[in-house]
Amino acid sequence: MRVYLDNAATTPLDAEVMSVMCNVMESHFGNPSSIHAYGRESRTLVEKSRKTIAGLLHTSPAEIFFTSSGTEADNTAIYCGIIDNNITHAITSQIEHHAVIHTLEAMEKAGNIKLSFVNIDNKGNVDYAHLEQLLQTNERSFVSLMQANNEIGTLTNIERVGDICEQYNAIFHCDTVQTMGHYSHDLGKLKVHFLTCAAHKFHGPKGVGFLYINHKIKIKPFIYGGSQERNMRGGTENVYGIAGLAKAMELAYTDMEQHQNHIQGLKSYMIDQLQENIPGVLFNGETDKDKSLYTVLNVSFPEIDIADMLLFNLDIAGIAVSGGSACSSGTDIGSHVLTGIHASATRPSVRFSFSKFNTKEEIDFVVNKLRELFTVTA
């Protein structure tokens, strides 16, 4: 048996999405910027896809801009949101995705901003009172906080963050790469200025995503070139990727509650089985279903001699997962997220991430293999 439990890294392409993309590749090869019929057909498909996504998010198609990835969307929101609005102070957390942290750190190093980090607890929860303290300055701030951490799954109350940012006239950018397609987002109510997406996190294609830009915020392009994306992003649109993204979003929203229940059931079952079969197992981040991303489970295993080989042994057994540990030395980079929540530097940690395609039988297989490994090395 082969088991794929690394869906936070990327998800398998849905068969219906693949079918749509193949049809588009065959029938809509025209450049969307061309004025002839072939181009107009592709342009119509791009705009139809934009309208579909905007409808699901309760926003205007004019606020959706297609990108090559969530990373590009994050970089665009952060750099342009700060520079073009004359922001000199940014706030984030130590456990954000590197697409956010590295961008902000580079801007601080270049002298563009002063960077502050909001406090988090040992489960990755944001200290909202401290966020308010950081915002109580005479300068307008840029806040970048993700909705769900990609390694430990802890959820941030972005409605609350949005309210706080509005109170202090701050610009709010939210990385929703891990939650888009897994939770519903009502952008007509959510007080956010920028929001990001990557299609491959919810059974869409790699190489395409989008950036939501609230109409109240004005920025210049991050990538210059042609007049694509209403003069906001140069570069010929990835037509079949965009069509796949829209279809994946459509499917995700159609069956969202069913998938949530199925995947949360798998996660809860795995928690129970691990506690029953591996003494001393711990969990990084929140595990309460109301506080944790239901697709992610980060497990801290007991110290064993083969800790460095745990992922290798699982891979040999046909089990695909991600892993890491807190930084334990100057030469061990480790996981900045686990280091940020002060997780044990000596215990091996594994991120299991689930999708609608996983089964209870696969969870049993993985737990049994883990039990074998820890029994042999005990």
| pLDDT value at residue 324 | 65
Report the distance separating Cα 59 and Cα 212, nearest Å. 9
Q: Sketch the domain layout of the chain as residue ranges.
A: 3-11+255-376, 15-254
> Quick one: pLDDT at residue 111?
97
CA nearest 8: which of 148, 174, 199, 201?
A: 201
- Model's pTM, two decimal places? 0.95
Q: Is 80 a catalytic residue?
A: no
Q: Which fold has domain 3-11+255-376?
A: Aspartate Aminotransferase, domain 1 (3.90.1150)
Closest C-alpha to 185, from 217, 212, 215, 153: 212
Closest CA to 3 of 355, 378, 281: 355
Residue 156: its pLDDT value, please? 98
Tens-digit pLDDT string for the chain (378 aa): 999 999 999 999 999 999 999 999 999 999 999 999 999 999 999 999 999 999 999 999 999 999 999 999 999 999 999 999 999 999 999 999 999 999 999 999 999 999 999 999 999 999 999 999 999 987 899 999 999 999 999 999 999 999 999 999 999 999 999 999 999 999 999 999 999 999 999 999 999 999 999 999 999 999 999 999 999 999 999 999 999 999 999 999 999 999 999 999 999 999 999 999 999 999 999 999 999 999 999 999 988 766 568 999 999 999 999 986 544 434 356 789 999 998 888 888 999 999 999 999 999 999 999 999 888 654
Q: Where are the beta strands (DSSP E) in the chain?
A: 3-4, 64-67, 89-92, 114-117, 141-144, 171-175, 194-198, 209-213, 282-284, 296-300, 319-320, 322-324, 349-353
> From the candidates 22, 165, 197, 327, which is the catalytic residue?
327
The correct answer on CATH 3.40.640.10 for the domain covering 15-254 is yes
Same fold, 3-11+255-376 and 15-254: no
